[in-house]
Each structure stands twice: as C-alpha cells, then as structure tokens.
Chains A and B, each alone.
Chain A
Amino acid sequence: MRVNFTVNGRPQQADDVWEGESLLYVLRERLGLPGSKNACEQGECGSCTVRLDGVPVCSCLVAAGQAEGREIVTVEGLAEHARQRAGGEDACGTSLDEARRWSPRGPGSQSDEGSTSPRATLAPLQQAFIDAGAVQCGFCTPGLLVAADEMLERNPNPTDADIREALSGNLCRCTGYEKIMDAVRLAAARQGEEA
C-alpha cells in the first residue's frame, strides 16, 4: 500500500509498504531516517520514540497505515523543531544520504562540541546530552531526546522525580542514567537562563 505523511516538516511518500510494517520500519528502511532506533520493537524501550501529531509515541507500535496524513517529528528533525519553537526560522536537517553514511568525525570537530561554542545546528537538549556525558553507545539517545524535549516543552522546570517519570519509558543500558539526569537538568537550566 502507499502511505503519505509529513516527517520533520517535509511531505513523504512510501510505496509498496507491507500492511504489517511499523512506522519505525518505514522511517528507517524506506525513508532513510534511521535515527529512530529498533532496540526492542515491543514498546518496552522507547528507543524508537517519535512525536506523532505532537505526542511522543513508540513508532514500533504504530502501523505504517496509521501514520497516513499525520505529522511526525523524529530525532533528525529535533533541532529544527526546537528552533521553530524558539521562534527561529533557518531550516536545516539531515539529508537522507548523509544519514546513511557513517564517517566518524575527527576530534577536530570534537572541540566544536564543547559547551563554549555550541554547534548552531543542535537543539539545546542535544548539546546538553553531549556536554553532560549522557551519550555512550548512543542507541537510546534519539528516543530519550525526543521524550525529554517534549517533557521540557510541557514542564520547563521539572523536579528530578518529574524527569524520571517522563523518561521511565526509555531504557538505557550504558550510563546508569545519572548523566542523562544531568543533561536534562542542564538543558532546563540553560533554557531558564535564555528565557
């Protein structure tokens, strides 16, 4: 079947979709947007979290056909989403081909990632994850970012318990969550300073 929907502000169309495919599969394998991750495909890990008409959901549990006509935001569109929320205009994003190729950047670019000179293309929360050391293997990171960004949108001054509750659907196996807590607190604090 054919499915049409909007991803990160761009209309997308997928053809020859098998009816049992999930939105996650279509994003990853048909649209070249593999940022949403496939850790469990049973709604138990949150690594595939996307926003469906604004609401964080597990894209592995959305049948592709259910996404017809809907608006999706994935981790690839998070920076642009944050910019629009902040009132900015410049468009940016990840080209599909770029997303498919991996070329580890040298630490030359690493110094650009420091908190002193945040890369303009990152959302504040993305920068906070890097700065706080919240990323190790990174497989949980996209889902956590989408979930945490939505929480901060609703609740700009969360308590620790609020953060834990909001992220209780996102498993991480590397970090022990401490630095993820740090990152969300950091993003909230930076957001507060700017406001």
Chain B
Amino acid sequence: MPTNGAPTRITQGSHTRGGIGESTLRPDGTLKVTGEFAYASDMWHEDMLWGQILRSTVAHAEIVSIDTSEALATPGVYAVLTYDDLPTEVRHYGLEIQDTPVLAHGRVRHHGEPVAVVAADHPETARRAAARIRVEYRDLPVITDEASATAPAAVLLHENRTDPHAAHVRHPNIVHRQPIIRGDVERARRRADVIVEGEYVFGMQDQAFLGPESGLAVPAEDGGVDLYIATQWLHADLRQIAPVLGLPEDKIRMTLSGVGGAFGGREDLSMQIHACLLALRTGKPVKMVYNRFESFFGHVHRHPAKLYYEHGATHDGKLTHVKARIVLDGGAYASSSPAVVGNAASLGVGPYVIDDVDIEAVALYTNNPPCGAMRGFGAVQACFAYEAQMDKLAARLGMDPVEFRRLNAMSQGSLLPTGQVVDSPAPVAELLRRVKAMPLPPEQQWLVAGEEADVRQLPGGLSNTTHGEGVVRGIGYAVGIKNVGFSEGFDDYSTARVRLEAAGGEPVATVHTAMAEVGQGGVTVHAQIARTELGVAQVTILPADTRVGSAGSTSASRQTYVTGGAVRNACELVREQILERGRRRFGAHHPAWATAELLLEGGKVVTDGGEVLADLVDVLGDEAVEIEQEWRHRPTEPFDLRTGQGFGHVQYSFAAHRAVVEVDTELGLVKVIELACAQDVGKALNPLSVTGQIQGGTTQGLGVAVMEEIIVDPRTAKVRNPSFTDYLIPTILDTPTIPVDVLELADDHAPYGLRGVGEAPTLSSTPAVLAAIRNATGLELNRTPVRPEHLTGG
C-alpha cells in the first residue's frame, strides 16, 4: 500500500454519458482520419502569396550590407522586407525578455536567424528571390560553451541588458542563475559513508512535431489582420505581435488552425510577425510554411546541458546531501531559459528527501541555436543525471537500485529543498514498486519457431546485423518529478466562456476557450467536463481564437488543470444561474427548489435524491445563459535569488519507468524491448487520452536516450543535421510495448483531484533506458543520447 492513502474515487456530479472519467472519443477524430481537418499548412486563400524567409548562413557575424534590389526585381515578387522596413520602434520580441530581433539588425547571433522576408506568387518564386538577396557578413568569433561565454573578454551576445535577471548574474552572457541552498552540505558530507560524483551531458533534442510551422495572414479592411496559425498560446503571440505591427490587439484577430504537435516548440513565435508584415505590406493574404530543414531553425530546442553531481549516503542507504551544478545552453536568445533554469534548480534533487542541498543552475547565452521549452522543461536534464547518480550509489552500497530509491523517496508531507511542503499525494515509492512488479517480457522473443531469428525484433532491426550474436539483455529503473503549471509567481490563469441554451428541444452547451489543441485532447476533456457539470449530452467546442480571454499556454502539463478548471468553473456559474432562474420560474410549484441540493443531470434539474424538478429546456426557455470567467490556480511565489526558497510550484507530477533493452554489445546497437510506466494522474478524466500521453511522452524520452540529437559544430556553431535523414526519431520498429499502470490519488487542490500528465513520463523514460543499457554493458555512459560508438569504445 502506498503511504499516502488508497486510490481515490471522485464522485461525479452527473451520470450523463460521456462525462469525466470515461474514455470518450476525440471530437476532431473523424476530421483527422478523413483528411478534412485543416492544419495551419492546409490553409488556402484566393490570390494568396507565399512568404519565404532568408536565414543567416553563419552563426555569428556582423551584417555589413544587405542588397535586396535583385530580389525585388524578380517577376512575381511583391515585397522584400528587412529590419529597416519594420513599421514601429518595437523590433524585438520574446516570451519573457524581448531580445529576439524580428529580422536581424546589424548582426546575426545564430545559424539560421531570419534576415529578410519575401512575398511572391509561388513558393519557388519566393525561394529564388530570397536566394538573390545579397548579404555581406563579417565573421565574429563564436561562443559555444560556458568557458567561451564567460571569459572576461568574451563578446557579449546582448549588450546593455535591462532584463530582470541582468542584475544578479555574474556575467552578461549568463541569462539567469538560480541557486537552491538548504541545510549545510559541508557538514552533511562528513556523515556520508559513500560519496559518488558524476559529470553528465545531455544532448540537444528537437521537438520534431510533424506539422511544420505554418500560418496564413489575411489583411483586413479595417487595417488589421486575421492570422490563422499553429501555436501553443494565442494570447502570448498576440502580446508580442501587436507592438511590432503597431496595431492595437483587437485589430489582430488570431484563430488557431490545426496544430500538428507542439511539445514546447511552438511556445515562441516563428513566422507570425513575418506573415502579418508581408500581408499588411502587400495587401494580400500571405501563407508561410516551413519545410523540415527550416523547421529545425524555426523553433527553439531542448537545452543541452552539462550537469555535475555529488551525492552522499550512509551505509544503511540514506542520502546525506547533494551538491550539483547544472549548466544549460540557452543559445543566442533567451526564450524561456529563465524558467527552465528555475525548474532545473528546484527539481534538481529529484523525488527524494535530502536535507542538505546546494544546487546551482545557470543558462548561457551562446551562438548555438536558441533553446527553450520542450516537454519536461529543465526537469528532464536533471532527472537524467540524478537517476544515474542513484544507480551509482546503489551499486556502491550493494543495494537494489529500486529499494535504494524507495528508501529515500519523498512522500506527502515531505519538505522540498525549496522549503515547500508537498501537500498532496507523492507516491514515489509506490510507483517504483508497481513498475518493478510488472511481469518481465520473455527472453529472446526474436526466436521464431525455436530456430530462426526474426531480425525485426533484434537490435539493428531490418538491417540484419545480428541473429542473436552479442545480444545481452539489461534492465533499468528511473523515477522523476515534474512541476505542473507555470511557477515562480506567474499569474497562471485561463478563461472559459460557457453557454447553455435550448436548441431543437435539447439543451446544448457551447464551450469557447483560447486553449491550443495541439493533439493532447483538451477539446475532448472540455466536452466531458461540460457534460458532467451541466448534465447535457450535446456540447459544441468552438474554435480557439482571441475573441475570448487567454487560456494560457498548452504546456507545463497545465491545460486540463487550468483551462479544464476554467471550464468547470464557468459551468458551475452557468449552473447557478440556471438554478436561480429555475427557482424564480418554478420555485413556487415545488418546495425542493428551495430546500434540496440540486443537480443537472440527463438534461434535467434533479434533486440529490434523484427527483426530477424540471427539464433544462423549460428552465432555459428562449434565453441562453452565458458566462465568461477567468480561473486561476492557487498562487505561487518566486524563488529567493540567493537561497531558492519559496512556494514556487503549484503541483507535482510523478512517473516511474522500467526499461528492458537488448544490446548488441559488439556493434553498440540497442533495441528497447519494453518500457513499462507507472504514473499517478490524480484523476484520469479520459483514461484513453491519459495512456496515450504517457506512451507518447515515454517514446520521446526513448528517442533522446538512443538516437535524437541536434549536432552543432563546436567550431562554427552551425547545425549539421537539420533533416529527418540525420535527426532521427523513433520509428514503430524502435518503439517497444509500453504497458502503463495508472494510479489515481487525488490532489485536493486541483479540479477533480487531477494531476498534469503530459510531461512526467518524458523525464524518467530516458534514464531508465540508459540504466538498462548500463546494466547490459557494464559501461558508465554519462551522456545521452548513446551512440553506437559509445558502446564499442569507438
């Protein structure tokens, strides 16, 4: 049994079919399987032009000159814009720090930075014209790591910084620094019977969403613009776009078009401003679609990191202290680096109880590609390192790695190194127990008919590299902790508009939010919530746009919590108005209107005893009830800049993995046989979606364990593999079975007790695979992804 109480059942307010807790099917499913669902790249408009960006071919250089004359003279070209053509004095944008030029000004700071934009009547015309823009660069020395970034004479990526972090960093090429200090590490170290140290490297991962960055900007008669775009947060885009265009926000009407995955990579702007600028300049609709090559330059990546860890433990297996330094490479522009630093630092201990902690996390400005949000956001890199440390400690102590972790696992009531008390279930030990208890896959599944080898089930797969020779099995475990929602005092809210009306003799609910549906299934859940809360069968989900208030970002595992919470809250307010109206209209006929607890169920107003008082359509009459309301989770506070103390996170999410791998130890090829996961989700609003999220997150963790890495040339800071030929993501033959054990321990602070789901499985998947490979090979492996040459000494 978990120490934190048994799995909790949430009593639902309704038994209406398709409410929360049921695996209802996606409302957009039919459109998506028929090809009718309109993704951003599918948008089309009569007479539209095509936009094309010219990007820098070098990572760091002064721009000596730009000559656009030949491009402008190309037949079919309608506009060529550079920095000098920007319409207002606001020429930079950024999620937190406005340090990113809309178009490069005098200098480029990373490979692939936008320098000019072209609009033409055909994509090929636009490409040819862009190729005719002459840019003269004068190379500057490239800054690619901590040493070159913080050298006393280092060129500054951004001079005269005025952002909130500039004051507390020791060098202007450090974006942000967050220490977490608790207890006394020096003293605790003396209590340690064993001490292990490690230096770990985490490679640069790409979100590799399949739907490329795309948008359509349509100029409007009122001087404004309508923008159809794939993004994670419409209102944050709007806040950054409007000042650059010099338009009031209400003149920029944004509509979410179909989003082909996001995973953090659409949190920053891509071509939003460029498309609008070209549309406003030409007076014509402008469509922009990145190809895969450009996509690798068109969005931020996961921060690569170097992590230095020291842990101590006593002979009986209790952790004494942790000292860590986490260096994240933020690349040329800040993006969300400050928040990634906060996460890496505050979650750098992992889901363990350690009283004495000294952690420092920093993010650098370099000439490498800008890095920012990706699923797991700072917690991923730390988990890779601390979980490797846990295995090393267990080995040194001669303990079972799972038992060692369970012995030190945090639980409800534990104190985090930030001073925050964990005030909801934290079943870390139970999750580990569950993944360990799952049955193991049979050995040598690749043997068919007892003799022949099915190479598809062996390392190397169809490439026919082994028929069993050199293949060794390994098993590894890992567990992680991720925060849910925006932290550190951010005003994290969402807005929902809910309308209830009678239509065709039926009560119909309409839910309107600006939540970006990126594939996660938020639209499914919103309908379920409306059904549960309003007791109706018919729910319409309106397209997300900026005609309703902000829903915040589809990131940080937060949308079901926050926008789901906003929808529930708005539904409750609608219900109150309905009941109020019912009391006014029918209260005189039945005393229960005044005395009983009333519910909406099955299209009727009923008492908690089940007595029907009225049909909803009769209460509604001809008059709809509509509420738009913001909803926010309980506030958090910033971490102290010196000690890292503070109530920084609103909720935590936990997952544990067991990886079973088979390694061809001679060729260094890995086949992951199974990746079992146990996760606490608080309450599974839609169990089918929940397991889909866990399996998807697990697979992204697998990818960065064995194949995914953007390779940047350390001499030039140029990206060497911007394609799906050389940036590899797992195929269906690389992905194992992923059994999932879902635990539901309610968090009483959250709507329905739910816990954010999407990110936690991405954390522990990678270190579990690494642990399994170490188990199979006996190698130390301090870097991810593992490449074949790392396993063969090459």
Whether B105 is near chain A, meaning CB under 8 Å from some CB there, is: no
Q: Which parts of B681-737 form the interface with A (CB within 8 Å)? A: 688-689, 691-692, 695-700, 723-725, 729, 731-733, 735, 737
> Range of interface residues on chain B?
35 or more
Residues of B with C-beta under 8 A to A130:
25-26, 29-30, 33
Contact A102 B456 (CB under 8 A): no
B540 (CB) vs chain A CBs: closest residue: A106
- Digit string of A178-189 for contact with B (CB within 8 Å is 1, else 0)? 111100000000
Identify B724's interface contact among A40, A101, A106, CB under 8 A: A40
Residues of B with C-beta under 8 A to A103:
543
Residues of B with C-beta under 8 A to A168:
461-462, 731-733
Contact B209 A180 (CB under 8 A): no
Contact A140 B26 (CB under 8 A): no
Whether A47 is near chain B, meaning CB under 8 Å from some CB there, is: yes
Beyond A35-B34, A102-B257, A165-B456, whether A135 also contacts B732 by CB under 8 A is: no
Residues of B with C-beta under 8 A to A45:
210, 724
**A164 nearest CB across to chain B (Å):** 5
Beyond A111-B17, A176-B698, whether A136 also contacts B291 by CB under 8 A is: no
Complex Cα distance A6/B671, Å? 42
- Digit string of A64-77 for contact with B (CB within 8 Å is 1, else 0)? 00000000001110
Identify B210's interface contact among A20, A47, A179, CB under 8 A: A47
Contact B212 A141 (CB under 8 A): no
Q: Which of B17, B33, B210 is most buried by chain A, counting CB atoms within 10 A of its CB? A: B33
Q: Count of A-B contacts with CB under 8 A?
A: 260
Residues of B with C-beta under 8 A to A122:
30, 33-34
Contact A138 B41 (CB under 8 A): no
Complex Cα distance A79/B35, Å? 11
Contact B212 A173 (CB under 8 A): no
Q: Which segment of B240-248, B340-348, B477-485, B515-523 sits at the interface?
A: B515-523
Residues of A with C-beta under 8 A to B698:
176
Identify B30's interface contact among A28, A34, A119, CB under 8 A: A119
Contact A113 B292 (CB under 8 A): no
Identify B33's interface contact among A29, A108, A129, CB under 8 A: A129
Residues of A with C-beta under 8 A to B37:
102, 138
Residues of A in contact (CB 8 Å), total 78
Contact B27 A107 (CB under 8 A): yes
Whether B289 is near chain A, meaning CB under 8 Å from some CB there, is: yes
**B153 nearest CB across to chain A (Å):** 42
Whether A174 is near chain B, meaning CB under 8 Å from some CB there, is: yes
Whether B38 is near chain A, meaning CB under 8 Å from some CB there, is: yes
Whether B260 is near chain A, meaning CB under 8 Å from some CB there, is: yes
Residues of A with C-beta under 8 A to B259:
137
Residues of A with C-beta under 8 A to B508:
108
Complex Cα distance A142/B33, Å? 6
Residues of B with C-beta under 8 A to A35:
34-36
Whether B122 is near chain A, meaning CB under 8 Å from some CB there, is: yes
Contact B28 A104 (CB under 8 A): yes
Contact A101 B38 (CB under 8 A): yes
Complex Cα distance A165/B461, Å? 9
Contact B28 A105 (CB under 8 A): yes
**B184 nearest CB across to chain A (Å):** 44
Residues of A with C-beta under 8 A to B738:
176, 178
**B687 nearest CB across to chain A (Å):** 9
**A36 nearest CB across to chain B (Å):** 7
Complex Cα distance A20/B128, Å? 13
Beyond A139-B210, A139-B260, A177-B699, whether A104 also contacts B541 by CB under 8 A is: yes
Q: Can you give 23 A-B contacts (C-beta < 8 A)?
A: A18-B122, A34-B39, A38-B41, A38-B212, A42-B723, A42-B724, A44-B725, A47-B210, A76-B34, A99-B38, A104-B541, A106-B540, A107-B540, A108-B538, A131-B25, A136-B519, A137-B262, A138-B258, A172-B210, A176-B699, A177-B735, A178-B691, A178-B695
Interface residues of B (CB under 8 A from A): 17-18, 23-39, 41-44, 122, 124, 207-212, 257-263, 289, 291-292, 454, 456-457, 461-462, 508, 510, 518-521, 523-524, 527, 531, 537-543, 688-689, 691-692, 695-700, 723-725, 729, 731-733, 735, 737-738
What are the 5 closest A-B residue pairs judged by CB atoms, nearest first?
A: A35-B35, A137-B519, A106-B540, A102-B38, A139-B260
Known: A38-B289, A99-B38, A139-B261. 7 other contacts (CB 8 A): A20-B124, A33-B35, A39-B210, A108-B540, A133-B25, A141-B32, A163-B732
